[in-house]
Structure 1
Amino acid sequence: MPRYTKKDFEMVADVLKRARKAVLRTGDTHVSAQFDVFFVPAICDELAETNPKFDRKRFAAACGVFED
């Protein structure tokens, strides 16, 4: 599996943050919770395999998970 760079992680986090905001705008709290509890952690699992220095908490924060 290729090793991703900080720039790659930032791009993915930015896309997820925009997607999360769109989900929140729907007002569907169930979908919002699913995004934070299942989707972002699943992405973190995959990204962690690409880089041993990957920081899950930092990435989740960059996705906006801890903003509410």
Structure 2
Amino acid sequence: MAETLFEQEAYFLQIDSHCRFIPGWDDEMIAMLRQVEQKSPRPILSSYPPPYSPGEDEEASKKRYVSRLIFREF
């Protein structure tokens, strides 16, 4: 369904409703894309974010989960 909305935008982001973002997240992701574009002309950033429940202690939640974005060329 999301593909039907694509109209040649420069970027495409697909998330679910349980994501939290840091300030400047979009600039950081664009910087990551620029970095991996040096190795691949059409990079994809992917991640499995930690679960989020509103009202949950954010610091305690961070200590239970480690996430990494790792570049892997095609």
Structure 2 length normalisation: TM-score?
0.29
Greater length-normalized contact order (CA 8 Å, ≥ 6 residues apart): 1
Answer 1 or 2: which has greater helix percent. 1
Higher Rg of the two aligned structures: 2
